[in-house]
Structure 1
Amino acid sequence: MRSPFAKSKKTNCPRGSPSHERFQLLSEDARRLPSIKDGSVDCIVTDPPWGEHEQVDVEYDEFAAEMPHSFDRILDPASGRLVLLVARKLLATVADQWPHHHLQIKRFYDILINGHPATVLAGGR
């Protein structure tokens, strides 16, 4: 089921926010993102399934390989940026895929989410 926020540029954004018309909230499979044109996205901020609490329909290694392929397709080829939250125990699985898809990790932040070790990866082109 798609989120009621999908493709909405104004939904769930505070009125008066200087950027409320400049982004979209989507609920699509991160491995495909069919509604987004190639090279049309400046920045992706995402919290994909961790493979702990939410299950994916393929092995997590395959999911981790397909996701950055999709991000590479839609990100601006010159300046696209990406911020991704991942379970720390899956960090290497996810991070190892970035270079294969023209993405660089520029910073990372180790955090806790409800007591679970996690890492925020920030980077892009």
Structure 2
Amino acid sequence: MRAKGVNLNNVLYNTLLSMCADIGFIDEAVELLDDMKSCTDCKPNNWTYSSTITIFSCCVKVLEAETVLKEMVESSFQPNIYVLILLIQCYGKADRTDDVMTTFDRIIALGITPDERT
């Protein structure tokens, strides 16, 4: 894309990350995220972090999902109900029941009303 002169911006990066999440391209998503972090014109945002957590959660890559969540919070973005449910599912698949409960408690502490998915 760069060779063709396409200007990469947040919308394009995030669209590509969402696509990677949909089809399970983990390595490509990590490469995109790293590329975005080094970009001078745009930086990761809430959508970026949510898409990346989606990828890692669906593949039960717990440590990677937790790392991205930490980066998200350190970048002043708060996880929403969707992101936290993804983590609950990831922890559940990894048989990490204590982490499921901790994440549920975090939902309550953030003032988010649990829904039927929670």
Smaller-chain TM-score bracket = 0.3 to 0.5
Higher relative contact order (CA 8 A, sep 6+): 1
**TM-score normalised per structure 2:** 0.33
In proportion to residue count, which structure has more helix? 2
Question: TM-score normalized by structure 1?
Answer: 0.32
